[in-house]
Amino acid sequence: MLDEVLNYLALKPGMVIVDATIGMAGHSQAILESILPAGRLIGIDRDQESLALARERLHNFADACEFVYGNFMDIDNIMKNLNIKKIDGVLFDLGLSSFQLDDPQRGFSFQCEGPLDMRFDRNSYISAYDLVNNLTQDEISHLLWTFGQEKWHNRIARNLVREREKHPIATTSQLSNIVVKATPYRYRHYRLHPATRTFQAVRIAVNRELEALEIALDKAIELMNKTARICAISFHSLEDRIVKLSFRKAASLDKVRILTPKPLSPTQKEITENPSSRSAKLRVAERL
């Protein structure tokens, strides 16, 4: 949703913009082209490999960029360390990048064999392997329902615990196969792969994504100049709900004006060109 983001950020030369999830820097490159000269972009990411690629992609803009390895929920401290008191706009693009999904060693996808990892930040201590092999059956069941809204959470949790008693669940294919077998046969061939919600739930738990998002949105709004805008692109209902409620809370306190009463979705043209964008939802608010 590049065009929509650029339009709603209302970019002008000289602005200070934060890309809180810089990823492969697709949005950031276009933002920089609109805020130069004299503009400044701060790109944050928990994934050091993504950050290195972003730095390489934006090497022509090096003088206007700051690349920060960190968690966006620490955005206040990050800005303080950069001696930035206020910002003119901020973007949260919450989707996984194809770079992360397509790397089997990251363990994000059930479509390729890899270690059960799922960490955005490889320096963090807890991986998907740790959760799947150490949580109790009740804890796994709760996790799958809370973060994945998985209908068969009890069955999957029971089967996982049963299987790990024989051997640790160490790979993405092992986890996927257990989930498929735990899913009633008539539900195994729907458009959505049976393991989709389980992988989402475990990934969210590993990275504490929803907790970090709620904290980061509140902090970002406090850092924004008057008329600065905050754009958040979510890819599932749990994220979108947090963005919606955070914006509503800020609006009730007269901190922001919500510019998208209903979230914006990608155009059919974009979905055709980039099928992974089909579930994207964009919400925007403006600082009062």
* 188 and 109 both lie in a single domain: yes
Longest Cα–Cα distance of the chain, Å, equals: 61
End-to-end CA distance of the chain: 25
Are residues 133 and 58 part of one domain?
Answer: no
- Is residue 227 located within the same domain as residue 84? yes
| Co-location of 263 and 238 in the same domain | yes
Q: For strands 281-287 and 256-258, give the pairing.
A: antiparallel
Residues 38/63, Cβ–Cβ less than 8 Å: no
Q: Per the structure block, which two tokens stand in for 121?
A: 């930040």
Asked if 41 and 10 count as a contact pair (C-beta separation under 8 A), the reply is no
What per-residue confidence (pLDDT) applies to 258?
98
Non-local CB neighbours of 267 within 8 Å, separated by 6+ positions: none
pLDDT (tens digit, 0 to 9) for every residue of the chain, 288 residues total? 889 999 999 999 999 999 999 988 889 999 999 999 999 999 999 999 999 999 999 999 999 999 999 999 999 999 999 999 999 999 999 978 777 888 899 999 998 899 999 999 999 999 999 999 999 999 999 999 999 999 999 999 999 999 999 999 999 999 999 999 999 887 777 778 899 999 999 999 999 999 999 999 999 999 999 999 999 999 999 999 999 999 999 999 999 999 999 999 988 888 888 787 788 999 999 999
Answer with the one of 172, 207, 242 that is the final residue of a domain: 207
CA 288 to chain centre: 26
Number of domains within the chain: 2
Structure tokens at 148: 């994945």
Give the model's pLDDT for residue 191. 73
DSSP 196-244: HHHHHHHHHHHHTHHHHHHHHHHHHHHHEEEEEEEEEEESSHHHHHHHH
**CA 180 → CA 39, 189, 205, distances in Å?**
50, 10, 21
CA distances from 166 to 131, 160, 161, 162, 163 (A): 17, 10, 9, 7, 5
Residues 108 and 196 in one domain: yes
CATH number at residue 200: 1.10.150.170
> Are 198 and 230 within one domain?
no
Provide the residue type at 146 as one letter. T
Q: Count of CB atoms within 10 A of residue 115's CB?
A: 15
Q: Are strands 16-19 and 40-45 parallel, antiparallel or unpaired?
A: parallel
Q: Which CATH number characterizes residue 242's domain?
A: 3.40.50.150
Same domain, 132 and 260: no
Residues 159 and 17 in one domain: no
Neighbours of 245 (CB within 10 A): 12
With beta carbons less than 8 A apart as the criterion, state whether 134 and 187 touch: no
Tokens representing residue 249 in the block: 């809370």
SS3 content of the chain, % helix, strand, coil (to 5): 50, 15, 35
Q: 227 — alpha (psi -120 to 50), left (phi > 0) or beta?
A: left
Whether residues 213 and 203 share a domain: the answer is no
So what's the pLDDT on residue 24? 87
> What is the pLDDT at residue 68?
97
Together in a domain, 153 and 231? no
Together in a domain, 93 and 161: no
Considering 207, 242, 273, which residue would you say is the last residue of a domain?
Answer: 207
What backbone phi and psi angles, to 5 degrees, belong to 156?
A: -65, -45
Residue among 219, 250, 247 nearest 79 (CA):
219
Domain coverage including residue 203: 104-207
> What pLDDT does 188 receive?
75
Q: Is 118 in the same domain as 173? A: yes
* Number of C-beta neighbours around residue 45 at 10 A: 27
Domain boundary among 155, 175, 207: 207
For the full predicted model, state whether its pTM sits above 0.85.
yes
pLDDT at 277 (0 to 100):
78
